[in-house]
Amino acid sequence: MRPRRVVIVGYGMAGARLAEQVRARDPEGGRVALTVVGAEPWPAYNRVLLSGVLAGTMTAADIALHDPAWARGNRVRLRLGARAVRLDRAARTVRLADGASIGYDALVLATGSRPWLPPVEGLADDRGEPAEGVATLRDLDDCLRIVDQARPGVPVAVLGGGVLGVETALGLARRGAGVTLIHPADHLMERHLDRTAGMILAALCRAAGVRAVTGRAAVRYYPGEGVKLEDGAFVPAAVTVVTAGVRPETGLAADAGLAVDAGIVVDDRLRTADPLIHAIGDCARAGRAPQGLVQPAWEQAAVLADLLTGADGTARYRAGPVVTRLRAGDVDLTAFGETHLEADLTALGETHLESDSPRAEVLSYVDPARGTYAKLALADDRVIGAIVLGLPDAAATLTQLHDTGGPAPGDRPALLFGRALPQAVADDPARLPDSATVCRCNSVTKADLVRAARSVGGDLGALMGATRAATGCGDCLRTVRRLAERLEDDSGNTTEGTGT
Amino acid sequence: MNTAVAAHCPYCALQCGMTLTPREPGALVGPRDFPVNEGALCQKGWTAASLLDTPDRLREPLVRRRRGEPLRPAGWDEALDLVAGRIRELQDRHGPDAVAVFGGGGLTNEKAYLLGKFARVALRTSQIDYNGRFCMSSAAAAGTRAFGLDRGLPFPVTDLRDADVIMLVGANVAETMPPLVRHLRRARDRGGLIVVDPRRTATAEQAALHLAPRPGTDLALALGMLHAVVAGGHLRRDYADARTTGLAQAWRIAARWRPEEAERVTGVAGACLRDAVELLAGARNAYLLTGRGTEQHSSGVDTVSGWINLALALGLPGRAGSGYGCLTGQGNGQGGREHGQKADQLPGYRRLDDEAARRHVAAVWGVAPEELPAAGRSAYELLDALGAGTGPRALLVFGSNPVVSAPRAGHVARRLAALDLLVVADTVPSETARLADVVLPVTQWAEEDGTMTNLEGRVLLRRRALSPPQGTRTDLTVLRELAVRLGQPASRFPDDPEEVFDELGRASAGGPADYAGISHRRLRAGEVLHWPCPDRRHPGTPRLFLDRFAHADGRARFVPVDHRGPAERPDPDYPLIATTGRILAHYQSGAQTRRVADLLRAAPAAYVEVHPDTARRAGLADGDRARVVSRRGTVEVEVRCVPTIRLDTVFLPFHFPGDERANLISNPALDPTSGMPEFKACAVRLAPANGERP
């Protein structure tokens, strides 16, 4: 049987992953003949790591997903620098900008998303592209250009205080640029954070050298000079970076008459209404709106590879929980689930505060001076949401509890702070209970040592010989010595006492 | 008057030095200065002499003609004639592979060698493997593919004393090898001890940094750490360029594992993971050591490769004062995996599918190369095939107790029961011996000469200190007697350990683990010899890889590996992850240590460690009897509430028999390369013992 011709439009993180997953299931290409069409001129790279390139911790070579020989070595026909311009569903072909036409038995749209330019006067040119001096942060080219321009001391404006905006602002500040982060909402990352967290995050940004301006939108862009805000204030900037969110690339699908609603609409088999056409990643809407996150794209790639190769015809995609993670410089932030609930104090007879879920339990800890914040929402003993800033241990545990749906531990403070509060160590052997094991290597308890001292006395060597304490790893030697001293003192006292 | 004999402890791969002074009965253990243990011993070592006069020591062969009949005493000739006769009968009817052999990592080099030769030459069976498959096989395979050679520690263990930073992955040495902790002190006291373990073990308690991944996610952690090495600018590019290949391919995978991605899978905070990398990268001297916790998985080989990749990125292996190593577990876990009791292996760590190796070894054995069988089944596959279909109809067990130590132990016991013939050579009536048709009483450590290769590749001579009990024979004599009854010339199966060792040296000559230059005489003279040691004037090789790795091009290999996770994951029916391991007072299946009164008093029974919240949700409290139920079986044990354990994880020690066997629940999902079963992660549920029936 002739292998099924699968064409993947898009050689970004989703498309590249799908190609790998197909070949992992069909290494010889007996079931699927694979063609990948990529608009950029180089092999796929890990877009998630662009912030690392921006911050200077990684090079362009470090973030490549494939080496140039990858396609040949994996029986993939790869068309680089090729833009798909039209789908012909009746003829089952995809037309490229250079006029070439590629036939398919199954087509996958993995076209990703493009940065959104907010309606700020002068920000876009006549064609809707970024004006001179304006950069977005979508591809490697953007990134290298910004790195080149945002040198130490150069004033930079970052428009949009979401995750990418904050990360970019911190990365550029680290490179020495004078960064102003402009965000129209009242606090940073308002979709993910409550007001307190947003305020603390802004303070952390300030400490890292980023001026955060919130509650004021940019209204006008002056090339090479800066940005005017709605209250008339002016932010000077030689470079303006726009991080105001992305819009899915849905043009090909829409033109071909497929349903688009904040993304190409697909079912749990990642199919559009045309059963031969699929969509995954940022351009697709599988259940919920696109997130700009890589995790769903990779999960979708695995499911679609199962279906396209026939490795598992029952595979279905179900959106998993989404976690927002921001880490840049000293800022370590995690947010997921219900983050806007407030503590319910009705049980205390106080005024009822707002809460969407009547059974929700909300705990929080705020330390603005140290930039630490933790808020935790639970329902039925399950973690349903959290914001954790500056307590990375706690974030890791909470995220896993959220992902697995497992019950939360009863020790809520330990959960909130990430580790059990340190236990007081009984340093004085006199305060050890008799049953306490002093020497683990030889199973010697304090009672054993006391008993041995009655027959051999408190001499350290004699005690060690009699009990074998401290003759293994030797770590309890100090405790045994102190105990021996005390036992010797005690036996001395006893003798005196008997004498009188 | 009896004098003290220099001896080595009969248990783990440290092979601590001790003295034995014969008494009537038994002997007395005394301290002896030896680099590995510096005169110290753990409780197992101090009480080891109890093994020599244990009341139920086997002193005569036992046989039963039919299953269901009790074992009855028999003479040696009767027992050996019976075994040889049944072997001939079964092989005549079903072919050579109808008879299988199962060895052990506690056997001396001489025994391991002769057992392999016996299987291939006297039985001409391909069906031989050993319990080291359950122990070292993943680390061995990963070490070989990275460095071209597998020696657990490619440096003396005492080198650890000078390290600034030591990272232990899945190794609870404070319980399993207490004297080793002495060598970790400097690193520990400087805040340089990093421990990776899902549990807060006695070892983790001492760490400056304890990373507690969800069981079965170690490879994601290793990948996240490799990512952090590169992203943090800690990659030793000069070293990678000069001494390794494959970094680019390994990095492509690790590039996807930002610490935050690893965090989501492992539960280890990205920040902690970065701290660990900073500690390792900032050290002048650093070591990364793995243990069974990270190796006993169905992806064990890849997981170890992940750790080796990390060590290579940091430039540790093959650098004086730094390195990667795995901590071998069983007493002769190192030598036992080198001399031919492994399914795919010939002496000298040679491969059975290598034509040159077959020619060399066949010449030493005086047989034609084509007479040597091909590679056989790995340990669990072998046990699983017993008495069914094309599987073996007879099994000869030496130095192992698979009824307790094999995964899915209930099934393994049923397979053993389906055999036509089970023969067990042991010192005591182990749980496996009790199922046998023929039990052969053999001598043990202090009653015979023999060599052991400890965890650092040093070959040690264990001397006979006292006479064996009347009625026992050495394993070597048993093999010789059986071989002769099967038509082999007696000269081909010597039973003098020194003679066997000399032949082992010739068979290993030119192989990766070359013992040709080592002799009992040199060892008696006190020479310190680490293999390889190719000739009689060679000083041995305490440190490997300083100039080159063992691959033909001299370079180490980064291996591109990705995280897969355990074969079985928690679900609503089995919501918890069970992991198994050792505790201080016992060793392996406990066949020895459960017979030592002091050790049994210290740890009389199995238990399950559970977080108090998890116990409460299951309707259990500390001290209650609980059932731990998996898809394969049920263990009934006491609950021990431990507030430091993860809520999703329970732990069981595996040393106990009967209904308390942890391996009744363990998962025999095998690593595709090493055949290692997944001892360290399976899905279970917890219930009160008197409630639910499984």
In a domain, A450, yes or no: yes
Q: Where exactly does CATH 3.40.50.740 map onto chain B?
A: 62-135+332-504
CB B682 within 8 A of CB B612: no
Q: Which two tokens stand for residue B602?
A: 């210290």
Chain A: nearest CA to B333, how far in angstroms?
A: 22
A169 and A207 housed in the same domain: yes
Determine the average pLDDT of the residues in A360-373: 92
Query: Is A399 within 8 Å of B264 when comparing Cβ atoms?
Result: yes
A378 and A390 housed in the same domain: yes
In a domain, A126, yes or no: no
Which helix (H) or strand (E) is A206 found in, with range?
helix A195-207
Closest CB to B269: pick one of A63, A295, A393: A393
Determine the average pLDDT of the residues in B289-306: 98
What amino acid is encoded at B139 in this protein? A
In order, the DSSP letters of A164-183 are: HHHHHHHHHHHTT-EEEEEE
B237 touches chain A (CB under 8 A): no
A400 and A492 housed in the same domain: no
pTM: 0.93
In a domain, A37, yes or no: yes
Q: What is the pLDDT of residue A348?
A: 52
At the topology level, CATH places domain B153-326 in Dimethylsulfoxide Reductase; domain 2 (3.40.228)
Q: Which residues pair with A331 in a beta bridge?
A: A328
How does pLDDT run across A101-142, given as a tens digit for each residue? Answer: 999 999 999 999 999 999 999 999 999 889 999 999 888 888
A16 and A94 housed in the same domain: yes
CA distance B123 to B137: 25
Cis peptide before B25 (omega within 30 of 0): yes
Determine the average pLDDT of the residues in A349-367: 67
Q: Is the pLDDT of residue A292 over 80?
A: no
Query: Is B598 within 8 Å of A443 when comparing Cβ atoms?
Result: yes
Q: Which two tokens stand for residue B368?
A: 């034609």
Query: Which of A378-382, B482-486, B690-694 comes out lowest in average pLDDT?
Result: B690-694
Q: Which of residues 74-93 of A touch B (CB under 8 A)?
A: none
Query: Is B613 within 8 Å of A332 when comparing Cβ atoms?
Result: no
Q: What is the pLDDT of residue A250?
A: 95
CB A10 within 8 A of CB A79: no
At the topology level, CATH places domain B62-135+332-504 in Rossmann fold (3.40.50)
CA distance A54 to A48: 11
Closest CB to B264: pick one of A65, A403, A411: A403
Which of A327, A473, A476, A480 is the mutation pick for testing B, counting most B CBs within 10 A? A473
Chain A: nearest CA to B177, how far in angstroms?
A: 9
**Cα dihedral A308, A309, A315, A317 sign:** negative
- CA nearest A58 in B: which residue? B231
Q: What is the pLDDT of residue A500?
A: 33
Q: Which of residues 375-394 of A touch B (CB under 8 A)?
A: 392-393
Which CATH number characterizes residue A349's domain?
Answer: 3.30.390
Chain A: nearest CA to B244, how far in angstroms?
A: 18
CA distance B460 to B333: 13
- A410 contacts in chain B (CB < 8 Å): 612-613, 616
Q: Which CATH architecture has domain B5-53?
A: Single Sheet (2.20)
Query: Is A65 within 8 Å of B252 when comparing Cβ atoms?
Result: yes
CB A213 within 8 A of CB A181: yes
Query: Is B269 within 8 Å of A58 when comparing Cβ atoms?
Result: no
CA distance A493 to B6: 43
Domain end point (choices A309, A325, A355):
A309
Determine the average pLDDT of the residues in B439-465: 97
**Phi and psi at residue A248, to the nearest 5°:** -60, 145
Query: Is B263 within 8 Å of A399 when comparing Cβ atoms?
Result: yes
B4 touches chain A (CB under 8 A): no
Query: Which of A330-334, A458-462, B193-197, B608-612 comes out lowest in average pLDDT?
Result: A458-462
Under CATH, to which class is B576-688 assigned? Answer: mainly beta
Which of B157, B260, B584 is the mutation pick for testing A, counting most A CBs within 10 A? B260
- A57 contacts in chain B (CB < 8 Å): 231-233
Q: Is the pLDDT of residue B60 over 70?
A: yes
Q: Is the pLDDT of residue A143 over 90?
A: no
B547: number of Cβ within 10 Å: 8
A99 and A62 housed in the same domain: yes
**By CB neighbour count within 10 A (0-12 exposed, 13-18 middle, 19+ buried), where does A393 fall?**
middle
B256 touches chain A (CB under 8 A): yes
Q: What separation, in Å, do the N-terminal and C-terminal C-alpha atoms of chain A show?
A: 107
In a domain, A124, yes or no: no
CA distance A150 to A53: 13
Q: Which two tokens stand for residue A485?
A: 């001293």
Q: Which two tokens stand for residue B71?
A: 């074992």
Q: What is the pLDDT of residue A417?
A: 85
CB B366 within 8 A of CB B492: yes
How does the average pLDDT of chain B come out, rounded? 96
Q: Which two tokens stand for residue A371?
A: 């930039």
CA distance B475 to B442: 6
A110 touches chain B (CB under 8 A): no
Q: Is the pLDDT of residue A424 over 60?
A: no
Chain A: nearest CA to B45, how far in angstroms?
A: 9
A397 touches chain B (CB under 8 A): yes
In a domain, A123, yes or no: no
CA distance B657 to A449: 32
Q: Is the pLDDT of residue A344 over 70?
A: no
Q: Is the pLDDT of residue A347 over 70?
A: no
Query: Is B40 within 8 Å of A323 when comparing Cβ atoms?
Result: no
Domain end point (choices A225, A244, A263):
A244
A205 and A237 housed in the same domain: yes
Between chain A and chain B, the number of residue pairs with CB atoms below 8 A apart is: 120
Beta strands in A338-447 (DSSP E): 361-367, 372-379, 382-389, 437-439, 444-445
A155 touches chain B (CB under 8 A): no
CB B626 within 8 A of CB B686: yes
Q: Which of residues 303-362 of A touch B (CB under 8 A)?
A: 323, 325, 327, 332
Cis peptide before A358 (omega within 30 of 0): no
CA distance A262 to A250: 9
**Phi and psi at residue B579, to the nearest 5°:** -130, 155
- CA nearest B602 in A: which residue? A443
A344 and A437 housed in the same domain: no
CB B310 within 8 A of CB B316: no
Which helix (H) or strand (E) is B652 found in, with range?
strand B649-653
**Phi and psi at residue A37, to the nearest 5°:** -115, 120
- B602 contacts in chain A (CB < 8 Å): 443
The pairing of beta strand B438-441 with beta strand B421-426: parallel
Which of B264, B569, B574 is the mutation pick for testing A, counting most A CBs within 10 A? B264
Q: What is the pLDDT of residue A249?
A: 95
Closest CB to A67: pick one of B46, B248, B258: B248
A237 and A139 housed in the same domain: yes
- CA nearest A63 in B: which residue? B255
A226 and A145 housed in the same domain: yes
- Tokens 């040093």 appear where? B458
**Cα dihedral B233, B239, B241, B243 sign:** negative
What amino acid is encoded at B281 in this protein? A
DSSP, collapsed to helix, strand or coil, labels residue A23 as: helix
Q: Which two tokens stand for residue B443?
A: 């001598």
**Phi and psi at residue B256, to the nearest 5°:** -80, -10
Q: Where exactly does CATH 3.40.228.10 map onto chain B?
A: 153-326
| Domains identified in chain A, total number | 4
How does pLDDT run across B547-600, given as a tens digit for each residue? Answer: 999 999 999 999 999 999 999 999 999 999 999 999 999 999 999 999 999 999
Beta strands in A368-498 (DSSP E): 372-379, 382-389, 437-439, 444-445
Q: Is the pLDDT of residue B693 over 90?
A: no
3-state SS record for B166-214: EEEECCCHHHHCHHHHHHHHHHHHCCCEEEECCCCCCCHHHCCEEECCC
Q: Is the pLDDT of residue A350 over 60?
A: no
DSSP, collapsed to helix, strand or coil, labels residue A451 as: helix
How does pLDDT run across A199-249, given as a tens digit for each residue? Answer: 999 999 999 999 999 999 999 999 989 999 999 999 999 999 999 999 999
- Tokens 């996150």 appear where? A293
In a domain, A315, yes or no: no
Determine the average pLDDT of the residues in A40-53: 86
CA distance A438 to A444: 6
Query: Is B43 within 8 Å of A327 when comparing Cβ atoms?
Result: no
Q: Which two tokens stand for residue A264?
A: 């190409």
B260 touches chain A (CB under 8 A): yes
Q: Which two tokens stand for residue B297?
A: 């998985």
> pLDDT confidence of B33, banded at 50, 70, 90?
very high
3-state SS record for B474-506: CHHHHHHHHHHHCCCCHHHCCCCHHHHHHHHHH
Determine the average pLDDT of the residues in B430-444: 98
CA distance B203 to A9: 52
In a domain, A19, yes or no: yes
A143 and A88 housed in the same domain: no
Range of the domain at A259: 4-113+247-309
CA distance A116 to A292: 12
CA distance B132 to B295: 12
Q: Which of residues 5-24 of B touch A (CB under 8 A)?
A: none
A410 touches chain B (CB under 8 A): yes
How does pLDDT run across A172-192, given as a tens digit for each residue? Answer: 998 899 999 999 999 999 999
Spell out the residues 6+ positions from residue B652 whose beta carbon is closer than 8 angstroms to its own: B578, B579, B580, B606, B607, B608, B609, B628, B635, B637, B662, B665
Domain end point (choices A352, A385, A417):
A417
Nearest CA-CA partner of B17 in B36, B2, B3: B36
A58 touches chain B (CB under 8 A): yes
A63 touches chain B (CB under 8 A): yes
Q: What is the pLDDT of residue A67?
A: 86
Q: What is the pLDDT of residue B238?
A: 96
Q: What is the pLDDT of residue B691?
A: 61
Q: Where exactly does CATH 2.40.40.20 map onto chain B?
A: 576-688
Chain B: nearest CA to A57, how far in angstroms?
A: 6
